[in-house]
Amino acid sequence: MKIRLPRSTHNWVSVIGAVIAIIALFMIVFLFLVSVIMNESSSYLGLIIYILLPTIMIIGLILIPIGMFINIKKRNGRDTEEQEAWPKIDLNNERHRNAFFIFSFGTTILLLISALGSYGAFHYSESVEFCGTTCHKLMIPEYTAYKPSSHARVACVECHVGQGADWYVRSKLSGLYQVYAVLTNNYPKPIPTPIHSLRPARETCERCHWPQKFYAQKLRLERHYLNDEKNTVWDIQLKMKIGAELAAKGLKTGIHWHINPDVRIEYIAADKKNQQLPWVRYTNIRTGKITVYQDKEAKFDTLQIRQSAVRKMDCIDCHNRPSHKYNPPTIFINEALTAGMIPSELPGIKDLAMDICSNEFGSTDSAMQFIRNEIQDKYNSEYPEIVAEKPFLIEQAILGFQEAFKRNIFPEMKVRWDAYPANIGHMEFNGCFRCHDDRHVSNDGKKISKNCNLCHTIMAQGSPDNLEYAVAGKPLKFVHPAEIDEDLNEVLCTDCHTGLNP
């Protein structure tokens, strides 16, 4: 049977549409085979295969009936006797039969390709590669911080979207504005947090981390380097009270008591970043007893409480940077020294590195050049013997510091540690001290204590060759590695530590 195309397809609009659709289809098939056979993978290749080319193919297919419609209108205008209100399909008519088979076959193929393409597009748009690298400039800080995190094998959508069609639709609708913002370069730098439209943590985090199963206490060793010429090492060993002393006791005591199913903690924040919490309400669900604590230095009146949003505390209130943490210089430089990326035998390298990080840069390239110039200038002028005898140490320090810098500071997006407070701990940001500051007091005089031993006990501290160890059952009293005048019981760590201190 010889198949003839309907006369209505004999027009340039339909021909151009068909050519566009056929070329796009062959390119999709070709690039897909390349990606599978040659194991090629990139965000841009996926974007082309699953989104860009299918869109072009559909546009071409739409042009075919548009051209046919225009052609029919023109013919009807010339010959009014052949005008018909509705088209008729007569399979005994060769022209109608040809058109019917072409349309049926073409529609079947199109639906099959569309189904496969939609499936591929869905999975590609849900991939880490798509989330992290498609909007390269915008997302490179988040993607860089994500890769070495403890959640590096958890896909972005597992936390940012979760399961269920409703949140999937919400995320895609939100994504439309994000695409517009990227295309028009109309987005804030840095991206503000917390994301208030994010799915509740208990619907995402607790799919893996469940409150009924927490473990006993663990030891943690931290190594610090002082800002002196010798880069003096100072170690501190902590017993972290993650849960109760005995795992069988669950969440009755310890840090994770806050999400005990028998307890509800709620708060009102006085700022958008949830760093100032002047009002806290504790509810014992078993007994029904409610206790309200208010910051005596920033107390809310009844009207303010009534007009404010009350948030129930969940995982994200403390673990607010679980996969995208930007360490302050005092941490990432210590880690680079410990790992050997920066040679600790270079005199004064810790102090110099911290001083460099106190500057703000317009671009990563300018920061890299500044790091190189500053390190070379210091050792050329102050330690010429090191330059002459061990120049490799200076080059190692430059490259190691540059690498550590690029993992944590992103000048183009104005992203660095102080833009994103981390609420775990209490050194560079108030974190625990947002509530545990001895200033939150209830009507009957109870305080939310800032006693260090609530969360951890010091088991050892000091220089590695002269460590002071705790006697069994008696934790050590914290000794500051540098002499300071302030009474440590009267000040917060964040009164001095900003991320640029030892």
pLDDT at 84: 47
Whole-number Cα distances in Å, 198 to 161, 171, 174, 194, 204 = 8, 9, 11, 9, 10
Which tens digits make up the pLDDT trace of 3-53?
566 677 778 888 888 888 888 888 878 877 777 776 655 555 666 776 777
Residue with the larger pLDDT of the pair 467 and 49: 467
pLDDT at 415: 94
Which tens digits make up the pLDDT trace of 398-448?
999 999 999 999 999 999 999 999 999 898 999 999 999 999 999 999 999
Which tens digits make up the pLDDT trace of 267-284?
999 998 999 999 999 999
CA 385 to chain centre: 45
Which tens digits make up the pLDDT trace of 221-230?
999 999 999 9
Q: Report the alpha-carbon distance of residue 431 to residue 319 in Å, rounded.
A: 10
pLDDT at 41: 57
Q: Find the range with the poorest average confidence among 237-241, 456-460, 484-488.
A: 484-488
Q: By percentage, how much of the chain surpasses pLDDT 90? A: 42
Contact yes or no for 379/345 (Cβ under 8 A): no
Q: Report the alpha-carbon distance of residue 88 to residue 62 in Å, rounded.
A: 22
E strand intervals along 183-286: 218-225, 233-240, 263-268, 279-284
Whole-number Cα distances in Å, 70 to 12, 96, 103, 153 = 11, 19, 18, 54
Q: Report the alpha-carbon distance of residue 12 to residue 64 in Å, rounded.
A: 9
Give the chain's mean pLDDT: 85
Q: Report the alpha-carbon distance of residue 438 to residue 101 in Å, rounded.
A: 81
In this prediction the pTM is: 0.78
The gap between the terminal CA atoms of the chain, to the nearest Å, is 85
pLDDT at 242: 87
Neighbour-count burial of 202, counting CB atoms closer than 10 A to its CB (0-12 exposed, 13-18 middle, 19+ buried): middle
Q: Report the alpha-carbon distance of residue 168 to residue 491 in Å, rounded.
A: 46
Q: Report the alpha-carbon distance of residue 413 to residue 160 in Å, rounded.
A: 21
Which tens digits make up the pLDDT trace of 323-381?
999 999 999 999 999 999 999 999 999 999 999 999 999 999 999 999 999 999 999 99
Q: Report the alpha-carbon distance of residue 471 to residue 452 in Å, rounded.
A: 17
Domain residue spans in the chain? 7-125, 130-187, 218-322+422-495, 329-419
pLDDT at 39: 65
Which residue, among 364, 357, 365, 363, has the nearest Cα to 331 in the 3D structure?
357
